[in-house]
Chain A
Amino acid sequence: MNRSAAFASLIALAAASAVQAEDADSAAFRDAFLSGEADWAAVEARAQEEGTVNLYYWGGSDLLNVWMDRVVAPALSEKGVALNPVRITGTKDAVDLVLAEKNAGKGVGEGSVDMIWLNGENFATLKRQDALLGSFAPLLPNAANLEWNPDDERSLLNLRDFGVETGGAEVPWSGEQYVCAYNADRVAAEDVPATFADLRAYLEANPGKFTYVKPPHYLGNTFVQQAIYAHNPDGTGAEPFQQSVDQIEAGELARLIAPGLDYLRELEPLLLDAAGGTPRYPEDNAALDGLFLNGEVDFNCKFGLYAVATGLSTGTYPEAAQQFVFPEGTMIKNKNYLAIPANAPNPAAALVLADWMTSVEAQASKLQMTGMPSGIDSWMLDAAGAQAIADASPGLVGVTQDALDANAAPDTNATLVDVIEATWLEYIERDSTDPIEAIVARAYKNLSK
């Protein structure tokens, strides 16, 4: 870890003086496509010449890996492009690689990453560092499957990613909602919590039967955001958290997040293993799934619209698992995306892959084989397409789509996520005695460094 990080730095250092160069042919193609001069046939022809596409994605899901190998690879080879799936343990690894290569002077046609599956902070980082190819998404033929009209409020998740404008530099791939599941063998139906106060009451009767993934993992961050929305002292829920750090002052943010963080701090003594001294927060969703399956906790909260149906079919969820609406009114909903870096070695092949990934065919088979919700918008599809997506769904267990839609809330702005995460680490994990105002002010200062 240390060695490779230092080695990457060495490369960056050696090339720091190199002029920002790029492959002229690839640059010309990029400019022609983004300006609308190159038609799709030209893109497909060039993609065949390029021959390969390097897709970097989180490889922690066997179902998704199988889908990539069995469905995506053959579909692309029909188009004359070989898929090179690079499975990484964290999306940040791919972002690091793109930035290291960019800083080493590698431009379009010269890097090693053609496409990354990402959202939130990782996209915001690439955007801030100007490391994205450009506004390609609305130009894809299958962009017709997505709502781009800003006047329609349903287009929000296609135009903004964690509050950051996508600018068409990434195309939606999958949609998700933060849904909790409970184990009906251990929790009676009338005890299932609907609000944070209910959860606390349940844990007072059954201490240790709940935990959430440790921030800064995004699953933990999202749980913390939901608690903050629900305890917003103004009662405005997610609304103020759509602004970026430049638009909201540290003191104001501290006032808004303090009740939610105080709730979480008071919840700590009731969490898993807290009776033994320190509460235990699992590192990732696999660890949380294990705790839920073993009956160590009664609830499992994560992004998983179809997690129960999929978990039951793979045996990773207990047999009596059911979804439920929690917390009422603040169930965060977002999308995840495919982005093309500025130094993609095969830009045309990446475009062909992005286009295929947003087709009805791809979305239906992904939904059916992996349980990952569709990223395209059903109201933009024809009747047959919408039906194909509906048929592929593994189904909800114990909740209705209407109930989930009625309780949906948007994500927190990516720049605020950094501040809230730093505050959680300081205030909850380290038990800092400083007031929240001071911690938030410090986080603002570190961020602007």
Chain B
Amino acid sequence: MSASSPAVPDPADAALRGPSARERRARVWQMVQLAPIMAVLVLLFGGALVLAVLQSLGFAPWFGVNTFPDFGYFGALWGSSTFWVSLGLTLYYATVSTAIALVFGVLLALALVKIFPGKTFYKYLYKLPLMIPYTVGIALAVLMLSNGGMLSRLAAFAGLIDDPAQFPQILKTHYGWGIIAVYVWKQTPFITLAVYAVLLGIGRETEEAAAILGANRRTIFFRVTLPQILPGVVSSTLICFAFNVGAFEAPFILGGGFPDTLPVVAWRYFNDADYTLQLQGMATVVSIGLVAGVILFGYLAAYRRFERRMGRN
């Protein structure tokens, strides 16, 4: 992103007359402000990333393995058809849940900017899932939707089915209804929050103007509202999608077993009693990072192009 800061003087200009004491102080202060986040990014994240890449290329002397640089782990992984099935499943769960959460979130945000009785109450209520951890959401899904869960027991009790096991299977299938349900439940409020904040910022004048000029509701949404809330939509879906690609718990507990999503595949490698499989696991983790990185970069690049076409910078 191109955030320009007024505190930084033009470098060429500064070189000509030399920085004043005040500018130097400002620069030092800026460094101090950046230090904590840079330390986290460079040391913890960057360090872990470098080690992950090294390991996936065969560098792990602490397990007695050192064949660096060895692309065999990636070769074995990408060469097997199950990797591509797993990748497809991972992207399917991530995309479908982000898309559903986006639709729900935008509808909810549009509803919330209107004035209606009990609005304050609803404004608190919709944020509830944000405060509840994913694991609790997963546990709720198991309690309610599984074949031994509340719904199946109630159905058996009411005589609709003879045995809780006959209840149609919602969780633990490769359609991933359970995974998608948990993600949508948790991420709809997140997207709503982002879009609602943008909606409040832009006010309602442009929409009203369009309405006076005779645009119908559909046109107003797609031609006036949507382009204005797009920054909120892009940033929130970006975060949700990235999370969904890398998340482990929901596909592990609610997924349909083999073939698993990529994070679960990586976990299985790490958890195996055979140590050398950890390198295969690292190759899987690096692959997840590559795929997510490429998709997110493409998404942002497309958005930037759209912004430029719209005349924004």
Contact = CB atoms under 8 A, between A and B. Distances in A.
A9 B256 contact: no
Contacts of A293: 148
A296 B164 contact: yes
A9 B273 contact: no
Contacts of B164: 294-296
Contacts of B173: 276-277
Which 5 A-B pairs rank lowest in CB-CB distance, beginning with the nearest?
A294-B148, A6-B48, A12-B62, A121-B273, A296-B165
A214 to B, nearest CB: 7
A125 interface: yes
Interface stretch (B22-30, B103-111, B264-272, B291-299): B264-272
Nearest to B266: A2
Contacts of B266: 2
A430 interface: yes
A19 interface: no
B229 interface: no
A311 to B, nearest CB: 16
14 contacts: A6-B47, A6-B48, A6-B55, A92-B271, A92-B273, A216-B273, A273-B172, A276-B169, A277-B174, A280-B172, A293-B148, A294-B148, A295-B165, A296-B165
A35 to B, nearest CB: 30
Contacts of B62: 9, 12-13, 16, 99-100, 103
B36 to A, nearest CB: 18
Interface string A291-313: 10111100000000000000000
Contacts of B285: 2
B51 A13 contact: yes
Nearest to B173: A276
Interface residues of B, number: 36
A221 to B, nearest CB: 10
Contact of A430 (B55, B82, B174, B267): B82
Nearest to B167: A296
B169 A3 contact: no
B273 A291 contact: no
Given A92-B271, A208-B165, A296 B276 contact: no
Interface in A324-361: none
A40 interface: no
Interface string A99-143: 110010000000000000000011001000000000000000000
Interface in B200-257: 248, 252, 256-257
B77 interface: no
B307 interface: no
Interface string B271-291: 111111010000001000000
A278 B256 contact: yes
A9 B270 contact: no
A290 interface: yes
A121 B271 CA distance: 13
Interface string B156-192: 0000000111000100111000000000000000000
Given A3-B48, A9-B51, A430 B258 contact: yes
Interface in A185-218: 208, 214, 216
Given A295-B163, A296-B164, A418 B273 contact: yes
Contacts of B52: 2, 6
A446 interface: yes
Interface string A418-449: 10000000000110000000000000001101
A5 B163 contact: no
Given A16-B62, A278-B174, A90 B256 contact: no
Interface of A: 1-3, 5-7, 9-10, 12-13, 16, 90, 92, 99-100, 103, 121-122, 125, 208, 214, 216, 273, 276-278, 280-281, 283, 290-291, 293-296, 418, 429-430, 446-447, 449
A121 B61 CA distance: 21
B148 A9 contact: no
B254 to A, nearest CB: 12
A420 to B, nearest CB: 13
Given A1-B248, A1-B267, A103-B62, A429 B273 contact: no
B175 to A, nearest CB: 10
Contacts of B172: 273, 280
Given A276-B173, A296-B164, A9 B55 contact: yes
B259 to A, nearest CB: 8
B273 to A, nearest CB: 4
B97 interface: no
B147 interface: yes
Interface string B80-93: 00100000000000
A99 B65 CA distance: 14
A444 to B, nearest CB: 13
B257 A280 contact: yes
A295 B162 CA distance: 11
B274 A447 contact: yes
A192 to B, nearest CB: 19
Nearest to B278: A5
Given A5-B270, A418-B273, A281 B48 contact: no
A11 to B, nearest CB: 9
A312 B164 CA distance: 21
B174 A2 contact: no
Nearest to A5: B270
Given A99-B62, A208-B165, A294-B165, 20 more contacts: A2-B266, A3-B44, A6-B51, A9-B51, A9-B60, A10-B47, A12-B62, A13-B51, A16-B61, A90-B271, A122-B273, A273-B172, A276-B173, A278-B256, A280-B257, A295-B148, A295-B164, A430-B82, A446-B276, A449-B276
B63 to A, nearest CB: 8
A429 B268 CA distance: 13
Contacts of B48: 2-3, 6-7, 10
Contacts of A122: 273
A12 B63 CA distance: 10
Contacts of A13: 51, 62
Contacts of A291: 148
A2 B247 CA distance: 12
